[in-house]
Amino acid sequence: FTGHWTLPGGYLDHDEHPHAGCIREAFEEFGLRITLNDAAPVVTQRVFDRRGLSFLSFTYTSTETVNQRITVEPSEIAEGAWFPAREALEHAVSYFDRTALKAHLER
């Protein structure tokens, strides 16, 4: 996937609210302390095969984190970088990321 990117994310812990999971994942993967905007998340569901394997994605927007450097967790992430939303959409590899970025740009 050289030249392509994904938004930070991961799985929720048991009984964890998606809002809290988003904040936790941003810190675990990038070392960022974020504040989520009040806007409702973009919620996307997709069934991938006949057996019903399904993923439900919650994507939130965040207030810009001023003066915070991205510090990746090397066991999980090869590299991290900031992109304008339109550029991120051009290089997004995930169906969920493309759906969320399109919704964000249409707001």
- List the chain pLDDT tens, one digit each, 107 residues: 677 898 888 999 999 999 999 999 999 989 999 999 877 888 888 877 778 788 888 999 887 666 788 898 888 788 888 888 999 999 999 888 999 999 989 98
Q: Residue 90 gets which letter from DSSP?
A: H
Q: Are 19 and 60 in contact (CB under 8 A)?
A: yes
Q: Which residues contact 30 (CB under 8 A, 6 or more apart)?
A: 8, 70, 71, 72, 73, 77, 80
C-alpha 84/C-alpha 26 separation (Å) is 17
Torsion of CA 80, 85, 90, 92, to 10 degrees: 50
Look up the pTM and report it: 0.82
So where are the chain's domains? 18-106
Cβ count within 10 A of residue 100: 26
Report the C-alpha gap between 45 and 59 in whole angstroms. Answer: 11
Alpha helices in the chain (DSSP H): 18-30, 85-91, 95-106
The answer to whether residues 32 and 64 touch, using CB atoms and an 8 Å cutoff, is: no
